[in-house]
A and B are shown apart, each in its own frame.
Chain A
Amino acid sequence: MSESLISARGLTKKFGDLVAVDGIDFDVSKGESFGLLGPNGAGKSTVMRMIGATSQRDAGVLTILGKDPDKHGPQIRAHLGVVPQQDNLDTELSVVENLYIYGRYFGLPRAFVKSKVEELVAFAQLEEKRNAKVQSLSGGMKRRLTIARALVSEPEILMLDEPTTGLDPQARHILWDRLFRLKEQGVTLVITTHFMDEAEQLCDRLIVMDKGKIMAEGSPSSLIKDYSTKEVLEVRFGSDRNQEVADSLRAMCQRIEELPDRFLMYTEDGESLLEKIYASGLHPKTSLVRRSSLEDVFLRLTGRTLIE
């Protein structure tokens, strides 16, 4: 068993009557890439803030590198690099100044920070923008700068809250590439996301959260194996006909999910199920056979889709 960097037992956070995090248990090991997957409002960001020692828990035990965040906030934050959901770069400063001053906030000596800044400008691929003010950067560049900024103190744990929300596909892939490199260097990543592809790409292990509770835990592939079938057949009959065919489809497949615009049919072999549907005289307008994803796991666990 590898060393546990973060350990939560019965972790609870309330905001008035709302229980945002409802007595959850989890551990994050060294070098691991750990994900929190769930829809908006599931309590992911609250968990992140409690780990980041910027939010106090209401009950339970939380230790980060053996310390209690309620007692040793500054010491714990010194171990962490935080990439918040909403960019909070210093808009009055340039790219290099942002990196430099952030290192200084950790109390690091000037010479150390200066050499670190050069390394990070290269890492974030912002050499050409080094003296530009933050406002002139694109969304993807700002995100990369925020990640680079979080690395200035050489943290052991990098906390990423929805790192690619709002980015175009190309910018997302560049960012994922940067995060892979960090993982290779042994940085522990804690990532929240509501994108299943992101969770599948980046996370070794994840917890699926909904309404402040953990619904399931495991690696992306084991979760898919445990909570879904190998393949999924998606069929559309058009909104007016969906109701008529529902019963006949149900008879053909063990598990079926009815979404507003389509049916998801869970099966080991999508093609042969589709043939069966045609053979029964039904003709879907469109059909698609795909592999199960974490989206299907979430649907199974909660009866809802991740992005609503």
Chain B
Amino acid sequence: MKGSKALIALVAVMALLAAACGGDEAEAPATTAAPATTAAPATTEAPAEETTATTEAMEEETTATTEAMEEETTATTEAMEEETTTTTEAPAEPITVSVGLGNMPPSGMPYLGAGSPGQYVWSNIFDGLTRIGPDGAPAPWLAESWSVAADNMTWTFNLRPGITFSNGEPLNAAAVEANFAVILSEEGRATYSANANNYSYVDSVTAVDDTTVQIVTSAANALLPSAISIAYILPPAYFAEVGPEGFARQPVGTGPYVVSEWGDDKIVLQAWEGSWRGKPGVDTVEYVNLPDPAARVQALQSGQINVAQSPSPDVAQSLTDDGFTVYSATRGQVLAVAFITKHGGPLADVRVRQALNYAVDKEAIRVALTGGLSPSGGLYPPVGVNGHDPNRMVYPYDPDKALQLLAEAGYADGFDMEAEMTLGSFPADAEIYDAMAGYLSEIGVNVTITPIDFRGAWLPYFLGTDGADWNGQAFNYSWGTAPLFDAIRPFNFYQCGWRNAWYCDEEAVPLIEAVNTTFDQEERNKVLHQLLDHTAANPPSLMLTENFELWAHDGLVGFGVFAFNAPFDGVSYGG
């Protein structure tokens, strides 16, 4: 008895020692390297035009003044005591940029998602045939040019020659064909539906010659070049060798960065000079998982990260005063809460859904909680998106009307509902949902907000993976238009045909179909507006405020986020 005790003690002490030593080994040198240059970075200012639906609205930078920038430079140098303040032409020291993200990408396998947070990271590793530019339109990317045949259903894409993946495989038409073969297989369409559903009408992709790819669609869809911008091209031989799970652990692409670590809490990318996109200005990009917005801001303020995603708009001003640059841009997306009606319940009644839209003061939320940074409250489609109309009807704040509609529907005393939400990924989202619930409680609708994890719960529920499904009557699902920047995009999910359809409006189905198959822009827009009118009267969700990109950083030059692309290859500290 005594002996065994001593043995346990010995083993335990050794284990503790080993653990402690392991901890020491894990210590890494401080990673943040702030620039020691004195020159204030040039601030790119977009002309402040009054026009609404123009592309200039895509980028709008809250500029810090020069004095503020200088303050910031001294502040950072003070903070970095070990860093020697080298002057101008010092030998180029590797620049590491550490980015605090609210949610980590769902996987290293880019077909498993679309939009934020995945594309923030993927856009540095992978490329698609096209890429959405800051103007919201598709730009030549891996494909130099493209054309569509007279039938509006046969597309030809001409690849840029001489591009290789970072593992040495060539990027050619055969590689593109192999990728689409995986995505468009029956299994692929199911597994990768979050991505593939954006271009579900693609029938076949074939290599004509080494640099020519032919894409045939089942319907005439004018938005194909935008849609396939998120179909990242992976090296087919490597992918076949390691499989999707192996690929997710060690992703390989054509972009300017290669993955040196892909973990749950941390992703590290190293610059790859061999990329066709050239040698990037930032040598190492680190993404750190910081779900809490307050922690991200604190980490930025204390110099541990260089870029913070979605700081609270409340702290935007004080961050600017401290010398940080606050970047904001539109993202063609409206924050919304989707109503789950497939099981019936109060929300299945259109009057109830209208009532909830009347009950929330979107404009007050926009002004108070987004600091006025959101361009509009409750308006869909948002600024910079095809279909946008500033005069389109928005449900006004009218609690009396809401109460009347509820009473008509037989819910004069209100009802209880649960909403599952991911929190902390959009600027002020938690506060906005909280305020929404506050407004709804005033008409007797008591909303319980259940915070859920994006990767572990939201995505499986959304996709219906292994029978996973929503627990409540609502969840947060924004009306996002990227990468199409066309009002039709979210309808491909908010509809009866979606694999785990939570909402089904039979009347909208033919309209959605018509928009998706009409090639002529004018005619298409006519149907699109019919669809939008119909949807406004039959709201599938509670529209809140237009979403926006909000990032704070320590003086990077060239930093920008458009259509969820957050490339670091053109970013530097100036000087």
Partners in one complex: no
